[in-house]
Amino acid sequence: MTAPALARALDLITRVRGVRGAMVVSRSDGLVVAEQLMEGIKGTAVAALASSLAGRLQRAMVSAGLGPSQFWHLQCDHGALLVVSAGSEAGLLLVAVTEADVNVGLVRLELLRAAETAP
């Protein structure tokens, strides 16, 4: 994914009301590839944890015969973390950090749409 493509993908996500930030993360090592985050969000740490969680869920779901995880959603008291797989052979993760009252369905759609733009 080129830098302009990454920026466009993040734009799609962060323009949804209630989204505090979005990141593109390398699935294999949990490093941030690109980000558009509000001030105060610890992007590098969240990226590492998102990658690790994605790996655990992926292995669990494949073992359970459900196939690779395409989307996951961590619900918290004051917001949420939403993640989709993107890129060739799902080498990237698109991550959105949201407030509690966000339209999760809309963020999910924008994440999936952004993921489709990834090569």
Partner 1 sequence: MSDDVKTLSAQLASDPQSLVFLRLGELLRQKRQFDAATRVAQHGLERHPHLADAHDLLARIRADAHDYEHAFDEWDMTLRIAPQHTGALKGLAFLYFKIGDLAQAESHLQAARDAAPDDPTIEQAFAVIRGEAGATLAPATAAPQPAVSPPAASPEPPYVGERRSDSVAALPDERIFAGLEGAQEGLLLLDAAGLVLGGALKTPEGKDVTDTVAAYLAGVSQESARAARLLDLGSWRGLSAEGQGGHVYLVQPTPESLLLLMRDRSLPLGRLGLLAQRAAQVARQWLERQR
Tell me which residues touch partner 1 (CB under 8 A).
40-42, 45-46, 49-50, 52-53, 56-57, 59-61, 63-81, 97
Q: How far is CA 119 from the centre of its chain?
A: 16
| Shorter beta-carbon distance to partner 1: residue 8 or 52 | 52
Report yes or no: 3 and 24 within 8 Å, Cβ to Cβ. Answer: no
Q: How far apart are CA 73 and CA 82, in angstroms?
A: 5
**Closer residue to partner 1 in complex, CB, 5/70:** 70
Helix axes 3-14, 104-116, angle to 10 degrees: 170
Residue 3: CB minimum distance to partner 1, A: 25
**Min CB(98)–partner 1 separation in Å:** 9
